Amino acid sequence: MRINVLVAEIGSTTTVVNAFDGIFSSCPTFVGQGQAPTTVLEGDVNIGLKGAIESLRKNIGASKIEYDELLATSSAAGGLRMTVHGLVYDMTVRAAKEAALGAGANIHQITAGRLRKSDLKKLVAIRPNIILLAGGVDYGERDTALYNAELIAELGLEIPIIYAGNIENHDDIRYIFEGTNTRLYIVENVYPKIDQLNIEPTRRVIQKVFEEHITNAPGMRKVREMVTGNIIPTPGAVMVASKLLYNEIGDLITVDVGGATTDVHSVTEGSDEINRMLISPEPLAKRTVEGDLGVYVNMKNVIERLGIDKLSDKLDVNEEIVLDLMSNYKPIPETELEKRFVEELTLEAVITAVKRHCGRFRHLYGPNGKKTIAEGKDLTNVKYIIGTGGALTRLPNRVEILKKIALSNKGNELLPTKEAKILIDNDYIMASLGVLSKKYPEAAIKLLKESLNIN
C-alpha cells in the first residue's frame, strides 16, 4: 500500500505514526495509526519508527507500506530544554518566555537582571538545548544583556544562543561570541517597545534550532535517515495546529492532558473592553505548561490536590479502594471504576491548568475609590474549547469535563463562557496535523476539521 505522508510523533516512551493519503486532492483522508516503544536508549530511533510503521501496517491490514514522505514531531531526548534570561520579569523576560513556550520548549530556568554565580551554576547543571537572551527595549537599556552574554560566553558550553533583545546590541553580541564554538542566532527584539510583544520571529528560530539539535541528540542521530521533512517539538506542533484553526473558526483554546503535564494553548485577542483594562500586553497565541499536572507520571500530585477523602466521595468508594487504584494504576484505564478515577484526575488537571493560564480582574483602592484592572490572558471571547491528548480524546465523559471550565468561574477569572462550544480531536492527530500544515496547510485544516467534527 502506498501512502502520501506519514507523520511520526516521537515521544520519550512511545512513537506514534499517523498515515494520511489524498494530500493533493480535495478530500484528504486519515488512514490509520500505529505505535511502538521509542528506542532512544538503543541509540537508534529508527528501530522504534519502523516498529510503529509495522504496527500501522497491521492495524490497516496492508501487506506492505510504502510512503512518499515522512514528517515528525518529537519530545524524545528530554524534549526541548531552554533557559531564558532577560532584564525585567514583567517585560522582556515574560516576552521571551512566551516565545519559548509557544515554540514548544520546556523552560528549566528563568532569570531577570544580571546573572549571579548561583544562576550560572544552575545553567551549567541544566545543560539546556538552547539559551535565549533578551533585555532592553530597542534603543533602551543595553548593559544587562551584554553583561549576561559575556558571562555565558565564558562558560564555554557550546550551546546555541538566541539573542532577541535591544537592537543596539547586535554588533556587541556578535563580538562577544566571536571565536567561540557557540552557534549564535540574532533575531528581532521580543519586546521592542513598552507594551509591545514581538514573539513570532523568535518562535520560528527556536523551532529551527530545535530541529538541528534533535538530529544530534543521543539516540536521535539516525532520525534523518527516515524523516524527509520538518521535525518540530510536539507541543509546538499543537500550537501550530491551534493557530491554523483560529484562522478558520476564530478564538479558541486547546487543552492537552498528558501523563506528565497539562498544556493549554490559547489563540484569542480577548475582548476590547478587557483589553482596555489590561495592565500589560498578552500575545495572541499563548501556551502554558503545568509540569505538576499529569494523569500518569504526576498522578500523585493531582490526587494530593484533590485529597483522597474527597476523591473517594466523588467515586463513591472507600479510601482503601482509592489507594488500591493508585498502587495498581495503568496507563490506559480498563474497568469502569478505573475510567471514573482517571476522569476525576483529568477534571482537576483541566480546571487547574486553565485557571493558571487565564487572567483575572483585580480591584485597586485609592483616593478616588475603587478601580478595576485586568491582568493575564483574557479567554472570555473564546468560542471553542478543544480537547486533545490521550485523556481528552478517549475518556467517556471528556465533553462534560471540558464544559466544567466555564462553570468553575468564581467571578473574577477571565475564563471562557458557557456559550463556548466543545470540540474533541477524535482521531488524536492534532500534533501530527500541526507539522503536516507546514507543507500542506489546506489538507491539514480539512483533516483537522474532520477530526473535530466541524462541518
Domain positions in the chain are 2-77+218-229, 81-214, 233-451
Beta bridge partner(s), residue 161:
131, 184
Nearest to 212 by CA among 230, 234, 236, 199: 230
| Spatial distance between the Cα atoms of 162 and 120, rounded to a whole number of angstroms | 17
| Spatial distance between the Cα atoms of 109 and 441, rounded to a whole number of angstroms | 34
Q: Whole-prediction pTM value? A: 0.85
Indicate the CATH number of 2-77+218-229 among 3.40.350.10, 3.40.30.10, 3.40.50.880, 3.30.420.40. Answer: 3.30.420.40
DSSP string, 289-320: EETT--SSTTHHHHHHHH-HHHHHHHHTS-HH
Is residue 396 packed enough to be buried (19+ CB in 10 Å), middle (13-18) or exposed (0-12)?
exposed
| Spatial distance between the Cα atoms of 326 and 333, rounded to a whole number of angstroms | 12
Nearest to 172 by CA among 194, 198, 153: 153
Same-fold call for 2-77+218-229 versus 233-451: yes
Instruction: For the chain, give the number of residues.
Output: 455
Q: Look at the block and give the residue holding cell 548593559.
A: 143
Per-residue pLDDT of the chain (455 residues; tens, 9 = 90+): 899 999 998 876 678 899 999 999 999 999 999 988 877 666 677 788 889 999 999 999 999 999 999 998 887 655 678 999 999 998 889 888 888 887 777 889 999 999 999 999 999 999 998 999 999 999 999 999 999 999 999 999 989 999 999 999 999 999 999 989 899 999 999 999 998 889 989 988 988 888 776 655 555 666 777 788 778 888 889 999 999 999 999 999 999 998 888 999 999 999 999 998 888 888 999 999 888 888 887 888 899 998 999 989 898 888 888 888 888 887 778 889 999 999 999 999 999 999 999 999 988 887 877 888 889 899 999 999 999 988 999 999 999 999 999 999 988 999 999 999 999 999 999 999 999 999 999 999 999 999 999 97
Domain range 81-214, CATH architecture: 3-Layer(aba) Sandwich (3.40)
The rounded Cα 418 to chain-centroid distance in angstroms is 25
* CATH hierarchy code of domain 233-451: 3.30.420
* 8-state DSSP, 420: P
